[in-house]
């Protein structure tokens, strides 16, 4: 057979042979030799996977072996809570009845290419959109899904969600996070505006706003992209459902340590200056 499947149901208490099941003897033997810290990291990802599977009601399917290797490699060195959640989500999303369905490989490569700060910023971006009122979301949905919307976050809300400590450099790190996500097509723009009375050079209909931007001292804005939404869906466990699954009811399945609501969402791509 050109493809081999690792039973997802084998994920359980042990981290070596018993975790992967008989079809992965060699991999199981290798895992039996991993360090204690790697084993702890792997267990956290496995626990996150099982929790997502339970929340989503997924009980059937297997993991393609081509997906398993990079997934285990990343899981063993994963210590950040958001990255753990994303890897668990990809694992749950990758559960399939089709042996050659290894789409998860590309999403694992994306996650591996992102820093911890970029992954957290990505989670903030695409979870916050789901927190706008249901009626407003449905009006803006087609614009959001095709990358034709502007989302504004208050700077203080973003920084609080990033949970920086005193030794970190928020300005430099935030620049790194937004620019990196833009370079990879996971968002567009990502500027920080400090002007108290921004001049809007282009704007379409505002679908949701908490107040006037004149009341905000500093904010960030970005344009969501289809690829950014796609990675988010894989990261929360339903990547196999496609972009149509991006709906506010997904909030019930999230376990992020933050809750950010956009300050404003507008149709079209708006610029400020």
pLDDT in tens, 72-112: 889 989 999 999 999 999 999 998 888 889 999 999 999 99
What is the predicted pLDDT for the residue at 6?
A: 47
The structural domains of the chain, with segments of one domain joined by +, span 5-113, 117-272
CA atoms within 13 A on the CB side of 186: 25
Query: Which range scores top for mean pLDDT: 7-11, 96-100, 116-120, 262-266?
Result: 116-120
How would residue 36 be classed by pLDDT, with cut points 50, 70 and 90?
Answer: confident
User: Mind giving me the DSSP string for 184-218?
Assistant: TTS-EEEEEE--SSPPEEE---EEEESS-GGG-S-
pLDDT, the chain, mean: 84
Mean pLDDT across 152-170: 95
More confident residue, 36 or 73: 73
What is the predicted pLDDT for the residue at 116?
A: 97
Mean pLDDT across 222-233: 97
Count the neighbouring beta carbons within 10 Å of the beta carbon of residue 42: 23
Helices (H), the chain: 17-20, 25-31, 36-56, 65-76, 81-93, 104-113, 116-128, 134-145, 155-162, 170-183, 226-236
Residue 7 has pLDDT above 70, yes or no: no
Mean pLDDT across 197-210: 71
């Amino acid at each position: 057979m050109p493809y081999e499947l690792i039973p997802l149901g084998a994920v359980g208490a042990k981290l070596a042979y018993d975790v992967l099941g008989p079809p992965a003897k060699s991999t199981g033997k290798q895992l039996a030799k991993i360090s204690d810290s790697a084993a702890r990291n792997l267990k956290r990802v496995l626990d996150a996977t099982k929790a997502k599977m339970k929340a989503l009601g997924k009980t059937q399917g297997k993991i393609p072996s081509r997906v398993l290797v990079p997934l285990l490699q990343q899981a063993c060195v994963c210590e950040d809570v958001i990255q753990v959640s994303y890897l668990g989500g990809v694992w749950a999303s990758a559960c399939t009845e089709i042996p050659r369905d290894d789409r998860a490989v590309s999403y694992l490569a994306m996650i591996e290419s992102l820093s911890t700060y970029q992954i957290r910023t990505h989670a903030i971006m695409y979870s916050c959109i789901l927190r706008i009122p249901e009626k407003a979301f449905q009006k803006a949905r087609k614009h959001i899904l095709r990358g034709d919307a502007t989302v504004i976050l208050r700077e203080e809300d973003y920084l609080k969600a990033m949970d920086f400590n005193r030794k970190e450099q928020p300005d430099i790190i935030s620049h790194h996070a937004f620019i990196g996500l833009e370079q990879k097509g996971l968002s567009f723009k990502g500027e920080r505006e400090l002007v108290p009375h921004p001049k809007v050079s282009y704007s379409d209909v505002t679908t949701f706003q908490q107040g006037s931007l004149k009341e905000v001292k500093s904010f960030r804005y970005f344009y969501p992209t289809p690829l950014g939404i796609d990675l988010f869906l894989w990261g929360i466990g339903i990547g196999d459902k496609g972009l149509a699954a991006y709906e506010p009811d997904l909030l019930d399945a999230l376990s992020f340590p933050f809750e950010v609501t956009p300050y404003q969402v507008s149709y079209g791509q708006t610029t400020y200056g």
